[in-house]
Each structure stands twice: as C-alpha cells, then as structure tokens.
Structure 1
Amino acid sequence: MLALDLLANGLIYGCFYALMAVGLAMIFGVLKIVNFAHGEFFMIGAYTYVLVSLKLGVSPWIALPGAALAGALLGWAVERLLMRPLYAGYASWGFMKDEYAVVVTFGLSLLLINLVDKAVGPYSFRGEPLIDVSRFALGPIMLTGQKAIAAVVAVLVMVALALFIKRSVWGKQIQAVAQNRLGASLAGIDATRTTSLIFIISGMLAALSGALLAPLINPSPDIGAFPAVKSYVIVVLGGMGSMWGAMLAALILGVSEAFFSVYISYDYRDAFGLIILVLVLLLRPQGLFGEKGRTV
C-alpha cells in the first residue's frame, strides 16, 4: 500500500519536473547553452498565478493560462533581447559564446529575483487550488485533489507538446534547427524565429509548472532555485538536449525521490538528485536515454 502511494506521488511530481526540464533540454539542444535563469520562469509563473487569482479575484482556471502566457512572454523577451547576440551575427564584445550565456542568464536570474522582491516583497503566498477537494481514494491510492488535477493538466500539456513536435510544421522546423542550424537555414527555415519559439515554449512550460505547484507551496522570490537544480539534474540524466530523455528522467527522479525520502531520509530528499547527477557525470556523461546534442 505504501509503495503504491509513493509510486503515485513520485510520478505526479515527475510530471511537474518534466514541465520544468523539457524546455531547458530544448534550449540546450538548439543553442548548446544552459539557461541559468530557468528557475525564475518557474517563480514568475507561480507569482502570476497567485497574484491574479488572489488579488484580482479571478478563477484559478483563468489564472493558470495567464501564468503560462506570462512565462511565454518572458521567454520571448529573453530570446529577443539577450540571447539573439549568440547567433544573429552581432559583434563579439570580447566574450566567447558559453561565457556570454553564463554571464547573461545568471545576471538575469539575480535581476528577476530582486525585481520581484522589491515589487511584491519577500512574503510568501499560497495560491488557490484548482479543485476544492482535499483528499480522495483512487483504488488503494490516496491523493489530494490539487495534485491529481495538476498532474492531469501536466500530462495533457506534455502529450500536446509531443504531438506538436512530431506532427506540426513548426515542430519539424525545431527538429531541423536542433540537428543542423546552418543546414536548416539553407533549406529555407527561419532559424531565428524557430529559436524564439523554443524560448517561448520553454518559458511557458516552466511558468505553468510553477502555477500548478503554487497551491502546494508558498511562492517566494527565490522559489525557483530548487526546481532549477532538479531541471539540470534531469537534463543530464536524460541526455543533454534530449527532450524525450528529459521526460523519462523526470519521472525516474520523481519516483526515486519519493522512495528515498521514506526509506532513507526525508531531510536529504533534495540532495538525492545531486547524488544522481554526480554518478551520471562520472559513469555515463552522455546521459541514460540519449546522446549529447540530440533534441528528439
């Protein structure tokens, strides 16, 4: 009975982790850079959901897409204003590509944290639940209403993303740019617009993850730190740049943390992912499910 509960809760949190990590994996698959401000997209989504639902008094089901839209707009702005110098033919400014990405995204992370801290304050808020059901039984498994409905939303979004990447024209363009940016450009694909779309999707997914977890946590300006770390672990575990690997790795991490926290120690639950990260880097640096540089 306990094992089933742990498995269910691990898979649920794995769905939230997947929303965070997939966008990060897509960015790395195309630009080969790590977005160190990724956790702040999560934070922006959580705050948007909480403030829109509590302060404006609108339905949480309206605040949820509002949070996703805020993440998408932030992703578009970051790509347009900060990331485009990496690939759009701008002057060098004396930085190598990786150094520029690290400095800019890390600086953006600090900027967003302090902006929210000054604008909203260091206070934490708890969002309104999407469904007013405390606990219910699903066979032998006990679940909370918010976790269950949030997991359903996360799964539906991930399925929609998978279909979008595999079936749509824009999805095929993303695959082409990830495999060979120059070749895709020669074939007539607008690589710059495609990269902008990837940042929009990445920001939307991370913000949506933050919004879904807002009723379960207390959002604060630095709330994105741990989700970001978990995303880095998942991206490495799944294979650098592999979107499908990130999805599987997120579920593995969620389930592993659930069992580790009960059978080993809850105090070291978050450290468990870092242990996995070190082991993967030492034993299989290309990840468990993909090779470096693959996106799909």
Structure 2
Amino acid sequence: MLALDLFVNGLIIGLYYALMAVGLSMIFGILKVVNFAHGEFYMVGAYTYTLISLNLGVPPWLALPTAALAGAAIGWLTERWLMRPLYTGYGSWGLMKDEYAVVVTFGLSLLMINLFDKIIGPYPMRGPSLWDVSRLRIGPFMMSGQKVVTAVLAVVLLVGLALFIKRSLWGRQIQAVAQNRLGASIAGIDTGRASSIVFMASGVLAAIAGALLAPVINPAPDVGIFPAVKSYVIVVIGGMGSIPGSILAALLLGVLESFAAVYLSYDYRDTYGLVLLILILMFRPQGLFGERSREV
C-alpha cells in the first residue's frame, strides 16, 4: 500500500512539473532557444493569484483565470518585444541567435526578480487553497483537496494543449513553423503569430503551475528559480522540444523523487533528478523522445 501511495503522489508531483516544463519545451521546439525567464512566468502567476485573492477578496477559483491571463500577457510581451528580433534581423546586432536569447531572457529574469522585490517586497506570502479540504479519501488513497484539484486541472490542461496542437489550425501552423520556419513562411503562415501563441501558452501553463503551488511554495521574488531548474532538467531528459517527452520525463521524475525520498533520503530529494539527467546524458544524450543529430 505504501508503494501505491508513493506512486500516486509521485504522479501528482509530476503533473506539477509537466505544467512548467511543457511550455519551456514548446518554446525550444519552435525557436530552438531556451527561455531563461521561464521561472518568472511561474512567479507572475503565483503572485497574481495570491495578491488578487488576499488583497481584493476575489475567490480563488476566479483568481486562477486572472493568473492565467497574466501569464499569457507576460508571454506575449516577451515574444513581441524581446524575442521577435530572433527572426527579424538579429544578425545586424552582431549577436548570434543563441547568444541573443541567453542575454535577453536572462536579463529579463533578473529585471523581474528585482522589480517584484522592490514593488511587492522580499517576504513570501501564502496563497489560498482552491479546495480547502485537508483530507479526502478517493478509494484507498488519502489526499488533500488541493492535490486533487491540481491533478484534475493539470490533466485537463495537458490534454487540451495536445488537442490544440494536433487538431486546431493554429496548432498545425505551430507544428509547421517548428519543422521549418522559412518553409512555413513561404507557405503563407504567419510565423510571428505562431511564436506569440507558443509564448502565450507557455506563460499560461507556467502561471497556472505557480498559482496551484502558491499554497505550498509561498510566492516570493525568487520563487521561480527552482521550478525553472526542474523544468530545464525535464526538458533535456524528455528530449529537447518534445512535448510528449517532457510530460513523460516530468511524471518519471515525480515518481522517482517520491520513492527515493522515502527509501533513500528526503534530504537529497532534489538531487535525484540531476542524477537521472547525468545518466540520460551518458547513455541517451538526445533524451527519451529526442532524435540523434546527424552529421552532414
């Protein structure tokens, strides 16, 4: 029974991780760059949800969509103002594509952390739970109401994202841009709009993850750093740019941490993912769902 409890708890933790990592994976898949400000999308969602709930008295269920809107807004602004030069003449600035992305996203991360520190303050604040039920029995399992809500919302969002990418017109355009940006542009696809949608979706997922974890990991200016590191690990393990790979890697990492924390040591819980990353890089460097690069 303990093993089954640990497995279910690990899956729920993995769903938290998946909400963060999938957006990062989408950005890499379409632009082939890493967004070092991704953790701050998480922070924006956590702060928006908490401040609106506590200061304005808005019910948590209504504050959650506002966190998603804030995440979409910061994603759109990041793409429109900072990332658009990647494919509209970045070369004239004397910077390579990867160098430019690292500089601007890392700079945005530092700016947002310090901005929130000065405006809101350095002290963490506890967010309200969506479902304030301490213990809920579901079959043989005992879980908190927040975990149940998180699991359901995460599954709905991830399934909805998969259907959006596979079935919708915008989703097919995003796939085309990810495969060949120049070819998609020649075919008449608005590549700038596709990039904006990807950044907005990434911001929404990260912001919702921040809001859902606000009752557990209290929002603070630097609260997004650690979830972002987890996301980078997951994206590499799953395969750079692979959404299914990121989801599977997130679930595997959640289960691994759940079992290892009990059977090995809880003190080293956050290092088990790094060990798994090292093993993946040693024996399958392209990741679980990645493709091995071919030399020409």
User: Does the alignment reach a TM-score above 0.5?
Assistant: yes
Q: Which amino acid aligns with 2:20?
A: M
- Corresponding position of 1:188: 188
TM-score, reference length from structure 2: 0.97
AA matched with 2:242: S
Map of 1:261 onto structure 2: 261
What are structure 2's unaligned runs of at least 5 residues?
Answer: none
Say which is worse superposed, 284-293 or 186-195, in terms of deviation. Answer: 284-293
User: Partners in 2 of 1:173 and 1:144 — Cα distance?
Assistant: 40
SS at 1:92 equivalent: helix
Q: Which residue of 1 aligns with 2:243?
A: 243
- For 1:4 and 1:123, the matched residues in 2 are separated by 37
Q: How does 1:73-152 map to 2 (within 5 A)?
A: 73-90=73-90, 92-152=92-152
- Partner of 2:123, secondary structure, is coil
1:168-179 correspondence to structure 2 within 5 Å: 168-179=168-179
Change in CA separation of 1:168 and 1:35 when aligned onto 2, cut-off 3 Å: same
**Distance in 1 of aligned mates of 2:145 and 2:90:** 50
Is 2:16 the counterpart of 1:47? no
Q: CA deviation at 1:292?
A: 6.3
| 1:212-291 equivalences in 2 (<5 Å) | 212-291=212-291
Deviations 1:118-158 (A, max 9, x none): 11101111111111211111122110111111111111011
Aligned equivalents of 2:224 and 2:151: distance in 1? Answer: 19
Deviations 1:229-279 (A, max 9, x none): 110111011111001111111111111110111111111111111111222
Contact in 2 for aligned 1:242/1:291 (Cα 8 Å): no
Are 2:91 and 2:97, in contact at CA under 8 Å, matched by a contact in 1? no
Displacement of 1:226: 1.2
- Give CA-to-partner distance per residue, 1:164-204, whole Å, 9 cap, x none: 01110000001100011111111110111101110010011
Of residues 199-208 and 84-93 in structure 1, the stretch that sits farther from structure 2 once superposed is 84-93
Residues 241, 292 of structure 1: 8 Å contact kept:
no
Name the amino acid aligned to 2:221.
P
| Conservation of the 8 A alpha-carbon contact between 2:11 and 2:255 | yes
Q: Distance in 1 between matches of 2:91 and 2:226?
A: 35
User: 1:179 & 1:63 partners in 2: Cα distance?
Assistant: 37
Deviation at 1:289, TM superposition (A): 2.0
Unaligned 5+ runs, structure 1: none
**Aligned ranges 1:16-35 → 2 under 5 Å:** 16-35=16-35
User: TM-score with structure 1 length normalisation?
Assistant: 0.97
CA-to-aligned-CA distance 1:25-54 (integer Å, 9 cap, x gap): 011111111011111111111111000000
Indicate conservation of the 8 Å contact 1:41/1:71, yes or no.
Answer: yes
Runs of 4+ in 1 over 4 A off after TM superposition: none
